[in-house]
């Protein structure tokens, strides 16, 4: 289940009205820090840059090269202590629809791992110790200590996957 707040927009395309929701200068600020974090070689520097946008980044969280975070609402993203975000992962906290905008807090738990090229949608929670396979689309919650894979996402008990 995704926890989302919906804002209606009149017109044909809500993305055309994004400046009604966010200050353009704030979006540029967020974009600069998030873009710099994508290329930063130091994990400590990445954590610092992401925190500058309002993201909550736990101690020892590791963010891989080219990971992309929501530039509109980074303050709605929370990375737990010692989590791993893989190469080219995308983590969102909003989605523009034809007739509105939805936002939601996106949480990656303590000791969780998100594999390379995965996409985490707005309003989901990846529980403590959970593992998300590479190239997965996380469109719902992933319980603690479980394993999620694929598109559509399937959730398995972690022991089922690792004891094969």
In this structure, what CATH number is given to the domain that contains residue 116? Answer: 2.160.10.10
Longest Cα separation, the chain: 52
pTM exceeding the 0.85 threshold for the entire prediction = yes
Number of compact structural domains in the chain: 1
Which residues are bridge partners to 8 per DSSP? Answer: 100
Count the Cβ atoms, other than its own, within 10 Å of residue 28.
10
pLDDT at 162 over 70: no
Structural domain range at position 158? 5-162
70-127: per-residue pLDDT in tens? 999 999 999 999 999 999 999 999 999 988 999 999 999 999 999 999 999 999 999 9
Q: Are 103 and 93 in contact (CB under 8 A)?
A: yes
Q: Are 133 and 117 in contact (CB under 8 A)?
A: no
Nearest-10 Cα torsion for 81, 86, 107, 101:
150
Left, alpha or beta for 25 (phi > 0: left; psi -120 to 50: alpha)?
Answer: alpha
| 3-state SS, residue 57 | strand
157, two tokens: 């008990």
126-160: per-residue pLDDT in tens? 999 999 999 999 999 999 999 999 999 999 876 55
DSSP letter at 38 equals H
Q: In 3-state terms, the chain is what percent helix, strand and coil (to 5)?
A: 25, 30, 50
Q: Which residues contact 65 (CB under 8 A, 6 or more apart)?
A: 38, 39, 87, 88
């Amino acid at each position: 289940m995704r926890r989302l707040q919906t804002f209606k927009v009149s017109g044909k395309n809500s993305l055309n009205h994004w400046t009604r929701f966010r200050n353009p200068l704030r979006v540029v600020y967020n974009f600069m820090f998030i873009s710099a974090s994508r290329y930063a070689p130091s994990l400590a520097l990445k954590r610092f840059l992401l925190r500058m946008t309002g993201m909550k980044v736990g101690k020892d969280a590791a963010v891989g090269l080219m990971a992309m975070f929501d530039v509109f609402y980074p303050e709605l993203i929370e990375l737990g202590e010692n989590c791993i975000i893989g190469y080219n992962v995308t983590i969102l906290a909003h989605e523009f629809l034809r007739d509105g905008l939805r936002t939601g807090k996106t949480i990656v738990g303590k000791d969780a791992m998100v594999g390379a090229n995965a996409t985490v949608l707005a309003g989901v929670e990846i529980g403590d110790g959970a593992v998300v396979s590479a190239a997965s689309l996380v469109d719902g919650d992933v319980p603690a200590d479980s394993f999620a894979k694929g598109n559509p996402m399937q959730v398995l008990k972690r022991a089922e996957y690792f004891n094969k």
